């Protein structure tokens, strides 16, 4: 047994699958020793598999390819937001620009091993061909998307401006999948949409929490201050920058908690609180959410509802509020790893549960019944 354990350790260290720095990070020496012993024992089977493949597989295969495959598989069993990246994939991930990229204009999640559309941005290739929330992407060209991570799918969807791609799509109300041909374009999301409603009610839709959206919202509310109340529409908002969600919440709260992050073992990692400067007047505030409201949108909705600042209308939100850390590895590869989960001021967990509205309203129809319900409440 000792010889096999030593062989496992030598193979894994030679292949670069583990390193003392990765295993020991954040542990005391005693705890680290115990953890390493357990890890080596558990990794014996993996080491045996890799050694057998290396020695007996019919085709030559590089150790690096085996290691990356093992790493991808290990991270892939954690959750849909964690991922392993080879050096080339990792460089591409880090090179993406904030809020602007060449693609088709969709936000995705994983459902039953397939990418499912959470939101479609307005005036994008996806919107123009009629893709909508709930559609599942089955293939890009001849490449099946089953079992791929969200990041891997996004890499297939992105590409040079003006290039074409063919999507095979499934929709719940259709028996057979069908295909679309789209032309990639620059995706620029205008984050705010504003209009004035009757009787001093203002309406603002935040489409995504892109950079500067909080300052843009503050400027808009200064230009058109709500006299009767404000409808803040976060439907089909897939999230965005965490700091912008905090800043938007802070606009409507003078003090107290906004959101907390809990890590391994429920340990409190950080807590964000509101500050008094530049707080909006205490007019009535209605927040609209639905199944496409995710991440940063859920943080804002949960904070304003829990603190008694807003009433929520619509449908339960998506339920994605976790913290991913991007970690460099020694050979240029990298990890995106879920390291914490957000909870609302009341201690409610968002991840996997979503935020429930105070008043559930079906969002289909004309005029929009959710906006109608929110207006009715604001005018009471």
Contact between 116 and 318 (Cβ < 8 Å) = no
Closest CA to 359 of 295, 318, 309, 312: 312
Closest CA to 39 of 339, 335, 31, 77: 31
Instruction: Exactly one of 306, 322, 333, 336 is catalytic; name it.
Output: 306
Instruction: Exactly one of 149, 250, 320, 336 is catalytic; name it.
Output: 320
Please say if 328 is a catalytic residue.
no
Cα–Cα distance between 31 and 362 in angstroms, integer?
Answer: 53
Cα–Cα distance between 191 and 177 in angstroms, integer?
Answer: 32
Distances (CA, A) of 97 to 34, 65, 237, 335: 42, 29, 19, 19
Cα–Cα distance between 230 and 218 in angstroms, integer?
Answer: 13
Cα–Cα distance between 276 and 281 in angstroms, integer?
Answer: 11
Distances (CA, A) of 198 to 30, 109, 117, 311, 313: 67, 37, 34, 19, 19
Distances (CA, A) of 169 to 117, 145, 157, 174, 184: 10, 11, 13, 10, 17
Instruction: Exactly one of 260, 293, 295, 317 is catalytic; name it.
Output: 295
Please say if 295 is a catalytic residue.
yes
Cα–Cα distance between 158 and 151 in angstroms, integer?
Answer: 11
Please say if 368 is a catalytic residue.
no
Distances (CA, A) of 72 to 19, 41, 83, 84, 336: 17, 20, 7, 5, 11
- Give the contacts of 134 (CB within 8 A, at least 6 positions apart): 116, 117, 171, 172
Would you please indicate which residues are annotated as catalytic (active-site) residues?
295, 306, 320
């Amino acid at each position: 047994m000792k010889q096999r354990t030593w062989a496992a350790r030598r193979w894994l260290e030679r292949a670069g699958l583990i390193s003392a720095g990765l295993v020991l990070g954040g542990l005391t020496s005693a705890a680290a020793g115990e953890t390493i012993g357990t890890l080596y024992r558990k990794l014996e089977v993996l080491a045996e598999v890799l050694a057998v493949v290396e020695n007996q597989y019919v085709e030559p295969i590089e150790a690096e390819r085996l290691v990356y495959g093992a790493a991808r598989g290990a991270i892939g069993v954690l959750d849909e937001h964690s991922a392993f990246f080879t050096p080339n994939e990792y460089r591409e991930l880090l090179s993406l620009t904030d809020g602007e990229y060449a693609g088709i204009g969709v936000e995705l999640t994983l459902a039953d091993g397939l990418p499912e559309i959470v939101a479609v941005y307005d005036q994008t290739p996806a919107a123009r061909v009629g893709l909508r929330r709930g559609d599942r992407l089955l293939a890009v060209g001849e490449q099946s998307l089953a079992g791929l991570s969200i990041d891997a799918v996004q890499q297939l969807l992105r590409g040079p401006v003006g290039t074409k791609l063919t999507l095979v799509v499934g929709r719940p109300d259709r028996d057979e999948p069908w295909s679309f041909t789209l032309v990639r374009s620059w995706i620029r999301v205008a984050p705010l949409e504003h209009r004035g409603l009757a009787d001093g009610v203002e309406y603002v839709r935040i489409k995504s929490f892109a950079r500067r959206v909080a300052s843009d919202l503050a400027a808009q509310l200064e230009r058109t201050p709500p006299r009767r109340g404000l409808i803040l529409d976060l439907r089909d908002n897939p999230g965005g920058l965490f700091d912008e969600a905090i800043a938007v919440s802070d606009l409507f709260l003078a003090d107290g908690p906004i959101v907390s992050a809990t890590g391994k073992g429920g340990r409190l990692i950080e807590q964000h609180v509101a500050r008094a400067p530049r707080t909006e007047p205490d007019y009535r505030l209605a927040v609209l959410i639905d199944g496409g409201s995710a991440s940063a949108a859920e943080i804002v909705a949960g904070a304003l509802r829990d603190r008694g600042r807003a009433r929520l209308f619509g449908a339960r939100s998506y339920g994605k509020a976790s913290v991913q850390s991007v970690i460099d590895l020694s050979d240029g590869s990298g990890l995106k790893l879920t390291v914490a989960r957000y909870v609302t001021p009341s201690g409610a967990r968002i991840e996997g549960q979503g935020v429930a509205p105070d008043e559930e309203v079906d969002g289909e129809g004309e005029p929009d019944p959710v906006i109608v319900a929110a207006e009715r409440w604001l005018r009471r």
